[in-house]
Chains A and B, each alone.
Chain A
Amino acid sequence: MPLITYRDALNQALREEMQRDPKVFLMGEEVGVYQGAYKVSRGLLQEFGDRRVIDTPITEEGFTGVGVGAAMVGLRPVIEMMTWNFSMLAMDQIINSAAKMLYMSGGQFRIPIVLRGPGGAAHQLAAQHSQSLESWFAHVPGLKVVAPSTPYDAKGLLKAAIRDDDPVIFCEGETLYGSKGEVPDGDYVVPIGVADVKREGTDVTIVAWSKMVSVAVKAADTLAAEGISCEIIDPRTLRPLDEAPIIASVQKTNRCVVVEEGWEYSGIGAQLAYLIHRDAFSDLDAPVTRVTGADVPMPYAKNLEHLATPSAARVVEAVKQVLYID
């Protein structure tokens, strides 16, 4: 299987879906002439022309609303957020228009839109460019939220998102774009709402998604050297959440650590901890523990940024904590 980057996997998904369905178009800031701020849309303007690859003014609420409107009458827009940090300008259209239209209209207007772009911390981008906002969107009924961790998942899930009839928030990892993995040429789909066991193990369940999967893998490697076996589950989709594999894993390991790049307070991990307590309380040998981003706006200084971001060392510590190892 070809080894390609996460960026190119997304590019393949976009290209193949645009070839497959003339109703699919890509719109956003710098997606065309500039070839994408992160080059995810490289070559698409040349292949599909400016009717289907549309550079917009800097106008997040405006072009997100244009996408939602176009979706109301049957087009399948892919709207690029240059980064999810800028999506807050479009939040009214995402929450009040996209997420609610089907329900408010009594089932008359579907919104088959994909809003995609990078999120999370990169390298010293400071407070306004480093946020993981998945939990904001996952809170809202009517939205689906996807956060792939590998090139294979990125391609398959983006194709599934574009074919989905509901609004999908597609969170890419800014520092994952250059990561490589095996991706088949041609068409395949990773269904929305299906988790993946990234590593099998017996002692502790680690739930992680997006960039945090690689942090969890690094921690698991370290722990394996000490004879501790970690099972890593990547939900891949944060809403709808595939609960069963998480619960089954916790029933096997009796311990769970959730790794989340975003803030702890009201995060996805809080929901996961609740679900585990609800469905696997009697199986737990230790409280569910969370490793999250620090509860601060992201600082610029390299050392402080490192302290604010979940690391393999902190995951190792958390795993030992639920195993009661000093």
Chain B
Amino acid sequence: MDRPATLSKEAHVELLRKLLLGRRFEERCAEMYALQKIGGFCHLAIGQEAVSVGAMSTLEPDDYIFCSYRDHVHAIVKGSDPGRVMAELFGRDTGLSHGKGGSMHLFDADHGILGGHAIVGAHIPLATGVAFATKYESRPQVVLCFFGEAAVNIGAFHESLNMAALWKLPCVYIVENNRYGMGTSIERASAIYDVAQRACAYDMASETVDGMDVLAVRESVGRAVALARRESKPTLIEARCYRFMGHSMSDPVHGHYRTKEEVEEQKLKDPVRRYFQQLSSQGIIDQAGLEQLNAEVRTIVDAAVEFADASPEPPASALYEDVYSEPYGPYTRSQP
């Protein structure tokens, strides 16, 4: 089933609500990281929300997604409970992975969220494998695989695209091109600037889209999802976006590898504000409506933090659980 080309007023507002929820959630993550409620590495998607929100608005509930370690917004937008996401970031037992995955490894089987992977590009073959499986079983689901532009230089990307094109697999590869692989700009890492051109080597459909424009992303991914679902063919989409925060919480917003001026200039294209202005000019929502939406999502985020904070840590007995499918002690059968 294809989504209607034009969105209802309510659907527009829902997209804006998701953008706001993602933004407010990530802002709260930054606060919680500063308060040391969140540990480890924490990568925020502030500035990039239009890619995940636009892309996933084209999916059916039982479609699958894979993402990199910058995965909070993806999980929430795909349907995960924000409280369980925040609890995972807090390392609590009520988290999606019972506190064993953390910020970089969000999994939610009930919502088709297959991780949260923290080796750059390693989930691209996995997504290809899920697309292989849906085709093998003649199931209708498609797979969206999100990764950063730096991942296109890793072998796994090329190996996967080759197989997906060769075997005609229903996978949409979405490059969230935020211009920097950690601190290395695409110009310093890739021999070609247009990432979408990489698809040519595999005779694969490709598109380049403004990743700061939620509707443009939605249209582009919508075409790719339709191609995957109807003809079982993959597409490579390059969504050009920008992250307004550092690579992770330990990286300043600007400094060694990009200037303050560059960041400020990009912020003028803020995908959340831009979409609001677009809707506002069409009379779909006004400032009061925006404030109301903001209040709604703030309540959700507040509740998520409260839930996470009130949740217990995993019990010590969880340490050896889920290493294997059956109960199992450390490295032997005979040790309980």
Q: Which residues of A approach B to under 8 Å, CB–CB? A: 25, 51, 56-57, 59, 61-75, 92-93, 96-97, 101-110, 141-142, 144, 165-166, 193, 239-244, 275
Contacts and interface: CB of A to CB of B under 8 A. Distances in A.
B64 interface: yes
Contacts of B130: 69-70, 72-73
Contact of A68 (B95, B107, B129, B326): B129
A100 to B, nearest CB: 9
A70 B64 CA distance: 12
A177 B93 CA distance: 48
Nearest to B95: A106
Interface in B261-291: none
In the A-B complex, list the 5 residue pairs whose CB atoms are closest, starting with the nearest: A69-B129, A65-B125, A62-B159, A106-B97, A105-B107
Contacts of A101: 115
B102 to A, nearest CB: 9
Contacts of A241: 331-333
B14 interface: no
A62 B156 contact: yes
A64 B326 CA distance: 23
Contacts of B328: 240
B325 A72 contact: no
Contacts, number: 157
Contacts of B179: none
Given A56-B163, A66-B132, A92-B156, 5 more contacts: A59-B159, A61-B159, A65-B160, A69-B132, A240-B333
Interface string B111-128: 000111101001111111
> On chain B, which size bracket covers the interface?
35 or more
Nearest to B134: A73
Given A62-B159, A66-B128, A72-B130, A109 B333 contact: no
Nearest to B169: A66
A69 B105 contact: no
Interface stretch (B41-49, B193-201, B205-213, B316-324): B316-324
Nearest to B129: A69
Given A69-B132, A70-B130, A102 B331 contact: no
Nearest to A193: B333
Interface of B: 64, 95-101, 105, 107-109, 114-117, 119, 122-134, 136-137, 155-156, 159-160, 162-163, 166, 321-326, 328, 330-334
A275 B333 CA distance: 13
B163 A57 contact: yes
Contact of B324 (A69, A72, A93, A166): A166
A62 B160 contact: yes
Contact of B323 (A51, A75, A97, A102): A102
Nearest to A99: B323
24 contacts: A57-B162, A61-B125, A62-B159, A65-B128, A66-B129, A66-B163, A67-B129, A68-B126, A68-B129, A70-B130, A73-B64, A73-B133, A92-B122, A101-B115, A103-B100, A103-B323, A104-B105, A105-B105, A109-B107, A109-B114, A141-B323, A141-B330, A142-B323, A165-B325
A239 B129 contact: no
A63 B134 contact: no
B107 A108 contact: yes
A81 to B, nearest CB: 15
A243 B336 CA distance: 13
Contacts of A70: 129-130, 132-133, 136
A64 B132 CA distance: 12
Contacts of B129: 65-72
